[in-house]
Amino acid sequence: MNTPLDLAEFLAPGVSADEVPELAALTAARPLVDAFITLFRGTEAEVLMRLLVLREIGRDTDAPRWSPEALRARFTYLDPVKLETVLKRLRDNALLSFAADGHYHLSDIGRNAVAALAMLLRFSEEEEDVELGFLTAQLAGLQAVGGLTQEALGHLLGKLNELTWHFEEAIASGSEFHIVAARRRLSANEKWLARGTEILRKLLADPEVPFEVAQVAQRIGLAQSRLARADASFQRALNKIEAQRVTLGASGISSSDVSAWLRTLDAAALAAFADDAFALVPEIPLLAGGHELLDRAEAVLSEDVRAQEIDAALPPADATEIGAAPETEDLALLQHFAARLGQLSQPARLAEVVVGGGFAPAAYRLSLLALLADGDLIDASAGPAEGPVGEFMRLPLDVLFGDTLETVDADEIALISSGRVAPRGSAPAADNRSPAPLPQEIR
């Protein structure tokens, strides 16, 4: 039974409820609103008991009418007095009907409330958002009966915009865990996004759809397009995080693994890590007498001391040394190697010519031999005409590099390319020679 509404204390002075058109739809649905008020008013335990009794009464579809004795037998785990209180509350507020034969059954409003609650409970058992699945299912039902409204579409549009904002916030946070959770949430709702697209396709294909409804449907399509591109944005953000991930030595454990482990700890365990990590420094009082303070005051107030402190003059310039020779490159190793090669009278193995003094000198000699190997392929005018390098490149020697490796195992060298160095004319033709190797061929 509806009671008079007293809305004056909620409205601004001089405004009546009849002047607010937004209240018209709610006041017209007073019976349905009263039904939900009955279900959800009171303590949490009272609400759960009302929902329990109402759902169990509506669950038996073969025998929708219940006698008081059958209800007491069905709810033997409830206190009989509390059960009677719940039944009376539901009956007085038109959620239960009491027939002339003395049997209980659900009213139309009560069955609608139970059906809406069952749908919400069904969606809450899955991973996807309850709101998105529920709203999409509502739109599908309204479309099937031809009752799709602008308000129903607006609820779906608001939910899609909320998801878009949530995903953008996750990407902007730069947190791998937030991004992964948002991506999982998007994947869990992909089927509802696909079904929403089917509803919109059918809706926009109808030539008789109202303009206001079609306008909201187009905005929903744009929102779904933004969500479809969110997965690529998630992947780009994760790629950036992957490039910055640090692996702890050769353990295979990354900074993300450490962060994930720290998230499993409680506040007390995290605070324990700070034990002995900070040292308390006691505050030492100022220990200074009058004489010390007076000495400091005289130094500060003295004009000579202040003049020295503010003197910013540059020091006098130093005279530049005359005749200082510029630094030159040390080519002693090259000259010594050129002298050795100049005394070569018969072919010699590459290892005999290169090895000596360790890995670095041997690699240097091998790189120099590459100049001799390519000497006939390079224009003579392109190289240095004078100096040790030019003299080295003009040595009458041929260098042949092979395709295999020789074992050395001495002087910091394990393997070296096979080959030989011979006075010009005794080695094979230049066009049969292999390209000059790099020093890395010494191993």
Question: Which residue, among 194, 192, 196, 166, has the nearest Cα to 181 in the 3D structure?
Answer: 166
- Could you tell me the pLDDT band of residue 286, with boundaries at 50, 70 and 90? low
Looking at the whole model, is its pTM more than 0.75? no
* pLDDT tens digits, 55-108: 888 777 776 788 888 888 888 889 989 988 888 888 888 888 887 788 888 888
For the record, the structure tokens of 5 come out as 């509404």
- Give the tokens for residue 115: 């059906």
Which of the two residues, 2 and 338, has the higher pLDDT score?
338
Helix H, strand E, coil C: the string for 247-308 is ECCCCCCEHHHHHHHHHCCCHHHHHHCCCCCCCCCCCCCCCCCHHHHHHHHHHHHCHHHHHH
Q: Which CATH number fits the domain 17-122, given the four candidates 1.10.10.10, 3.40.50.720, 1.20.1260.10, 3.40.1380.20?
A: 1.10.10.10
Average pLDDT over residues 42-62: 84
Q: Is the pLDDT of residue 127 over 60?
A: no
Q: What is the pLDDT of residue 180?
A: 85
pLDDT (mean) for 23-38: 81
- State mean pLDDT over 177-206: 84
Q: Which of 413, 410, 418 lies closest to 443, judged by CA?
A: 413
Which residue would you say has higher pLDDT here, 130 or 262? Answer: 262
Q: Boundaries of CATH 1.10.10.10 in the chain?
A: 17-122
Helices (H), 15-64: 24-28, 30-40, 44-59
